[in-house]
Structure 1
Amino acid sequence: MRTMLAVVKDQLVDRDRLERLRNQLNALRDQGKINFQAVADHARISRTVVSQFASGKKTINDELAASIEAFIEPHLQSGTESHPAKVPFYVTNDVRRMITLLEDCREEKLYGLIAGPSGVGKTTTIAKYAESHDDVLIYTPGANVTLAEFLRDIAELFGVTLTGRKISEKEKQLLRFLRDNPKFLIIDEFGWIMRNGNMRILETLRSIRDGSGKNLGVVLAGHDEDYAYLMRVGKPQIVSRINYVEELEGMSKEECRQMVQPLWMTEEAKDEMARILYQQSKKGLARSVLEEVYKKCTRIAGEQMITLDMLTEAAQRYIHGLRPKARLDG
């Protein structure tokens, strides 16, 4: 199994992109819009690494380049400062762990599982990973999906038209296809395929993967409760096939702070937004709250920097029962 370090080392960044990023970094620093320490804090590297990259003494990998680009994007505005159109995607520890699992399962055709609370970025991370890998297929089942519907849907993802009438015939057709055509499938919200104790879809998926010579890499992604339910109800022949599990922990206070750092807010507004974000993360609402409150903040602020009063007004409109910091801390 390849380590994340080996994967990152293999991800080469084209020279034009690096040179453009280097020039943007230096220009923004010279204009006083950013400092290298803030960039380093966001990317979770030392200030020395940022400085050496900016001076041309050091190169960086694709993941690090993407992180720095996400940080400086809001500052790449002509004239005065303005609000970025959306909150930049921030790579948390949970996101890094998900990427490692996805990379290993895709390359080695393993059977993995990602479990975590709402709001930690499972679906967003999976979508962004798929954007940079053409061979990644994502399937999100509907409520009460049947086995026949499941087989039809994944066959369409694979580019196969099933002609058999019986389930067994459709399964054999998929097996024949996969033996010569390796695939990597991510099933998001996998809890929907085992509602009411029905494990038949997972049993069939296990059978197809085994019969294909393990030419099918699979990752199940869902909530903590889905994982616990699978471990409790799933048959040994299903559970024993899972090679790799990541149980996500949610965002730390520092990660919440770093997530709001690129936004055009006063420092006290950033502190309060980070506090709200961390508070809501315990309810599985962190990312949705951040996006919606930020959207309301920009409407209130217009072309001005977001202040604490603006943030408080926006947050109280969106979050039911939100109390001021003084009352919470008191």
Structure 2
Amino acid sequence: MAVAHLVQRDEGEAISMEGWSKERTLLAKLVQEEGAKITDVARELGKSRSTISLYVNGKYPESEELRETVRNYLRSIGTWEDEQDEAGQAPAVDYITSADELPFIETNDVKRMRYVLKKAATKHKFGIVAGDPGLGKTETLKKYLLTNPGSAIYIRCKSTHTVKSLLQELADALGLPDTGSANQLTRRIVKQLKRTPYFLIFDEADLLKSADKYEALRDIYDEAGNIGVALVGNLALAEMFLDFADMRPELKRLADRAPFHQRLQGPSREEVEQLLERVNLTSAARKVMIQIALNPRKGGLRNCVEILDVLLDMTKGEPITEEMVLHIGQINLTANA
């Protein structure tokens, strides 16, 4: 509904808001009357400062996408109230009751990661994806495997892996005998990959740590000659192969074979809001959940989803309060410490 209102610009000129959308009106009041800084608002909305400055002064054209972005932001800070129907009730929302119903959000990180996987697989190169825990790396890999059936071998790395046990796990995944020495295993694996090339994906690859394990993977890659390899892990992986590889020749040999790499940035506020859109959260609870999802030190997106998993089972679509989020969040962080 359009709202007629006057707001005062900094230089004293009154702006008529007649005909403005509710979204533009409330955001302008937030900036012009309540003192919110345009720079901060623009950052939260994922827009440039100039765009938001023009928008709150009525000089930037609206789109449904922009209105939705502003609306979600205003809702997250408790400024937006949904319109009520004639009976005085807010429109019914089909709230979800299980974390299994949470949507898979195509975040910018997901797109970056998919790009690396596609390029490494098709160009037969090494690809490296690194990011904080809880950014959805493993979930993205699962989606990739589902949409590319039979084309890839997935190995989840462990801190306990030796060179031989890593090769044994790869041999087993290829349907090969896992007996013999490391050299015998390597020859067996290379022979199979020459016959049937697969894209090799090593999740949590930062846990391998020592150069001899990465060298074993590089040897297989070089000798097979027709495969791509993806190393996916935490930021320690980026430090090894992107930041400090020049200081360690044994790592640089692999880094030189990895033209495709990405450091994941974490979700934007808008992406988290999309995830939470159908969760029945109070305004205060929604704000806390967004803070958790955006902060890797609070567990990031993974912790956000784990908290929701517990709370949705408890509430079955009933409102989730800030106190509930803080209580379960503290338990979850303690359990994972």
Distance 2:279 2:249 in 1: 45
The 5 A counterparts of 1:235-254 are 235=250, 236-254=252-270
Distance 1:157 1:209 in 2: 16
Match of 2:228 in 1: 217
Instruction: Verify the 8 A CA contact 2:156 2:202 in the aligned structure 1.
Output: yes
Partner-residue secondary structure (3-state), 2:96: coil
Deviation at 1:234, TM superposition (A): 5.5
Which residue does 1:315 correspond to in 2? Answer: 325
Three-state SS of the structure 2 residue aligned to 1:81 is coil
Note the residue ranges of structure 2 that are not aligned, 5 or more in a row: 1-44, 46-62, 66-91, 332-337
Q: Please report how far the alpha carbon of residue 144 of structure 1 lies from its aligned counterpart in structure 2 after TM superposition.
A: 2.6
Instruction: Point out where structure 1 has 5 or more consecutive residues left out of the alignment.
Output: 1-40, 49-78, 322-330
1:107 aligned onto 2:126: no
- Counterpart AA for 2:270: E
Q: Deviations over 1:215-272 (max 9, x none)?
A: 2210001111232134254523222111211111112222222221132345564344
- For 2:326 and 2:298, the matched residues in 1 are separated by 18
Q: What do residues 91-132 of structure 1 show as CA deviations (whole Å, max 9, x unaligned)?
A: 211011101111222222221000111111111111121122
Q: Does the Cα contact within 8 Å between 1:296 and 1:314 map onto a contact in 2?
A: no
CA drift of 1:298 comes to 2.8
Which whole-Å CA distance do the structure 1 matches of 2:142 and 2:298 have between them?
19
Aligned equivalent of 1:291, options 286, 291, 305: 305
Distance 2:325 2:93 in 1: 26
Which residue number corresponds to residue 122 of structure 1?
137
User: For residues 327 and 93 of structure 2, what CA distance do their matches in structure 1 show?
Assistant: 29
**Which of 140, 148, 152 in structure 2 is aligned with 1:136?**
152
Query: Cα distance, 1:189 vs. partner?
Result: 0.9
Output the CA distance in 1 between the equivalents of 2:174 and 2:314: 47
Q: Secondary structure at the match of 1:144?
A: coil
Instruction: Kindly provide the amino acid, as one letter, of the partner of residue 200 in structure 1.
Output: D
* Cα shift at 1:288: 2.8
Q: What displacement does 1:168 show?
A: 2.1
- 1:320 Cα offset (Å): 3.3
2: CA distance, partners of 1:269 / 1:144? 40
Change beyond 3 A, Cα 1:302–1:148: closer
1:267-306 matches, within 5 Å, as: 269-278=285-294, 281-283=295-297, 285-304=299-318, 306=319
TM-score, normalising length: structure 1: 0.64
Is structure 2 residue 240 aligned with structure 1 residue 229?
yes
- Contact 1:162–1:173 at 8 Å: present in 2 too? no
Specify whether residues 282 and 201 from structure 1 end up closer, same or farther in structure 2 by C-alpha distance, changes over 3 A only.
Answer: closer
Give the equivalent residue in structure 2 for 1:154. Answer: 170
**Matched residue, 2:271:** 255
Give the CA deviation at 1:192. Answer: 1.9
> 3-state DSSP class of the match of 2:323?
helix
Residues 97 and 275 of structure 1: CA distance in aligned 2, closer, same or farther (over 3 Å): same
Distance change in 2, residues 1:262/1:104 (3 Å): farther
Distance, in Å, in 2 between the alignment partners of 1:299 and 1:217 is 41
Q: Give the total of aligned pairs.
A: 237
Tell me which amino acid in the other structure corresponds to 2:115.
Answer: T
What's the CA shift for 1:80? 8.3
Partner of residue 112, structure 2: 97
SS of equivalent to 2:297: coil
Percent identity over paired residues:
24
Give the whole-Å Cα distance in 2 for the aligned partners of 1:98 and 1:285.
20
